[in-house]
Structure 1
Amino acid sequence: MLQRTFCHLPGISPGLEQQLWAAGLHCWADLAAAAPIPGLRRQAAVALEESCSRFGAGDAGYFGRLLPAREQWRLLPEYPEATAYLDIETTGLARGVDVVTTIALWDGKKVRTFVQGENLDDFPAAVAPYKLLVTYNGKCFDLPFLEASFGMRFDQAHLDLRYVLHSLGLRGGLKGCERQLGIGRNELAGIDGYFAVLLWQEYCRSGDHQARETLLAYNVADTVNLATLAVHAYNRKLAATPFAGSARLPLPALPPLPHRVAEGTVLALRRRLCGW
């Protein structure tokens, strides 16, 4: 879909992009070969040449910087071997005060987790090779929090599903979007970000590894479910283009969770701290 995209070029709005598609200009090569188009600035032709060069070089970050947040979905199928789904858990929401407790990273093949006090410092090197990161609300929370925590900068393209899903009318946070799309949570149903904080506190207080295990199960589920959300969003967005019949993506095969929910620990924690 990226090579069918024109709205990242100077002077081409989403509306003009639709007009170009309707005129039979369906890819960069079509636009480059077309007769001069009235109102299309010279900068667009220069940027088109640059796009071809950057695409050939695998420079996802270039397109990530140019595409509007709600159009980043177009990047999804272009870098299958260099895409990672990412989610973090923290002790709270205040950067500089609260800290990252766990991070989950999934690239479609391997799930990796990083835990405060264990291997958290391995994360920057682990995430560096990827060209596209997929999150939910990562633009406002996950990535800025990680940058502040590690003193790092992300130069990858970033598909934040919050903006794409909102543009499709899907709201209510990550879990709300999952429910609207029929994605179940099974034994993780009812566990949310606040309870994830409680699980970490319980682990630190008592050393209960079942609390740690449950927290990681929750973090990993948040992460791998992003792949299903991303495909739903991609296909719905694609349906509004002339290319819906040929470029739909299949739903991903999700991995088994490498961590298990300790239901007894969850129930005991709810009774003690939440008054259940």
Structure 2
Amino acid sequence: MLKNTFCHVPGIGIRNERRLWERGILSWDAYLARNAQAHGKTANPACLAHVERSVVQLAERNPGFFGRSLPPGECWRLFAEFRSSTAYLDIETNGAAGVKGYITAITVYDGAVIHTYVKGRNLHRFKEDIKRYNLVVTYNGRCFDVPFIEKNLGIRMPQAHIDLRYILKDLGFTGGLKGCEKQFGIDRKELNGVDGYFAVLLWYDFKKNGNEKALETLLAYNVQDVVNLEPLMVASYNMKLKGTPFHASHRLTPPQSPELPFKADTETIRRILRANRRFYPEACEQTPA
């Protein structure tokens, strides 16, 4: 889709992009060829230069150029061309604000391998590992995950960023990540009802009681947050394509679910639910004593 995009070119925008498509100019190559046939007399020189630069930047695998140029809400167009260097990402924290807040776990999924990072174990490796990727996909990561990582770990994340929260909202899907998952038929099974605050409780159960099953459950939850981003991204991409001439030709196949490295411990979940029933009354009613 990126090679068919013109809305990132200054002076063109969404409306004129559609006019180009209607005139049969469906790609950068077509735009450049049309200009060459007219001996450079048809295209605005600045627009022509930006399209030529786009060809170079894509060849050099630089999604940041497009991420900075695309209008808000159009970064989804980056996905197909940079899918092979994409990191789906989510963090968990200790729930505290300000200087007392810290990252407890990070999961990164690249469409093939799941990587988990835990405070006090291997969290330091994230700083180097994330450099492998040119694009990150998150849910609400623009406001939360990425700024928190940059501040807490003292690093910059210069990758181009697709935040599914805004893309899904534009498509009519709201209710947070879990709410969107349900609308797409994604079932978390034993992790249904577990939320971000529960992840904080799991961390403190692990830290205070040495409960490794609590940590494994926390990681199972964090991994679910991340691996579910891929089918949501693909579905969103395909839905966005419906507003273009490329719906049939560019449609992506839904991904296969990966094998998950961690399993939630249902007894740990039940115990923490019972201890915190005032926060989870409905879940406690559904959970056997």
Pick the TM interval, shorter chain: over 0.9
Structure 1 residue 241: Cα displacement: 0.4
Equivalent residue, structure 1, for 2:220: 217
TM-score by structure 1 length?
A: 0.95
- Counterpart-to-counterpart distance in 2, 1:113 and 1:127: 12
- Counterpart-to-counterpart distance in 1, 2:71 and 2:97: 27
TM-score by structure 2 length?
A: 0.91
Could you say if the C-alpha distance between residues 66 and 128 of structure 1 is closer, same or farther in structure 2, counting changes exceeding 3 Å? same
- Counterpart-to-counterpart distance in 2, 1:180 and 1:136: 15
Equivalent residue, structure 2, for 1:5: 5
Amino acid in the other structure paired with 1:131: N
- Counterpart-to-counterpart distance in 1, 2:97 and 2:31: 47
Equivalent residue, structure 1, for 2:105: 102
Equivalences for residues 54-73 of structure 1 within 5 A: 54-73=57-76
Amino acid in the other structure paired with 2:223: V
Describe the SS at the equivalent of 2:92.
strand
- Counterpart-to-counterpart distance in 2, 1:243 and 1:96: 48
Correspondent of 2:209 among 186, 195, 206? 206
Structure 1 residue 45: Cα displacement: 1.4
Describe the SS at the equivalent of 2:185.
coil
Equivalences for residues 51-130 of structure 1 within 5 A: 51-92=54-95, 94-130=97-133
Equivalent residue, structure 1, for 2:259: 256
| Two-structure CA RMSD over aligned residues (Å) | 1.7
Structure 1 residue 15: Cα displacement: 1.6
Q: 1:134–1:226: 8 Å Cα contact kept in structure 2?
A: yes
Equivalent residue, structure 2, for 1:15: 15
Describe the SS at the equivalent of 1:34.
helix
Amino acid in the other structure paired with 1:45: L
Structure 1 residue 41: Cα displacement: 4.3
Correspondent of 2:50 among 47, 50, 56? 47
Structure 1 residue 274: Cα displacement: 2.5
Amino acid in the other structure paired with 2:63: A
Q: 1:12–1:40: 8 Å Cα contact kept in structure 2?
A: no
1:80-116 per-residue CA deviation (whole Å, 9 max, x = no partner) reads: 3211110100112635331100000011111010001
Of the two, which has the highest radius of gyration?
A: 2
Amino acid in the other structure paired with 1:13: G
- Counterpart-to-counterpart distance in 2, 1:164 and 1:198: 30
Describe the SS at the equivalent of 2:161.
strand
Q: 1:4–1:26: 8 Å Cα contact kept in structure 2?
A: yes
- Counterpart-to-counterpart distance in 1, 2:94 and 2:161: 24
Describe the SS at the equivalent of 1:24.
coil
Equivalences for residues 155-194 of structure 1 within 5 A: 155-194=158-197
Equivalent residue, structure 2, for 1:145: 148
Equivalent residue, structure 2, for 1:34: 34
Consecutive unaligned residues in structure 2, runs of 5 or more: 279-283, 285-289
Tell me: higher relative CO, structure 1 or 2? Use CA pairs within 8 A at least 6 residues apart: 1
Structure 1 residue 156: Cα displacement: 1.1
Could you say if the C-alpha distance between residues 84 and 2 of structure 1 is closer, same or farther in structure 2, counting changes exceeding 3 Å? same
Q: 1:85–1:105: 8 Å Cα contact kept in structure 2?
A: yes
- Counterpart-to-counterpart distance in 2, 1:87 and 1:69: 22
Amino acid in the other structure paired with 1:160: D
Amino acid in the other structure paired with 2:111: G
1:212-267 per-residue CA deviation (whole Å, 9 max, x = no partner) reads: 00000000000000000001100000011001111100111121210011000000
Q: 1:89–1:100: 8 Å Cα contact kept in structure 2?
A: yes
Could you say if the C-alpha distance between residues 182 and 47 of structure 1 is closer, same or farther in structure 2, counting changes exceeding 3 Å? same
- Counterpart-to-counterpart distance in 2, 1:67 and 1:242: 19
Structure 1 residue 69: Cα displacement: 3.6
Percentage of identical aligned residues: 46
Amino acid in the other structure paired with 1:63: F
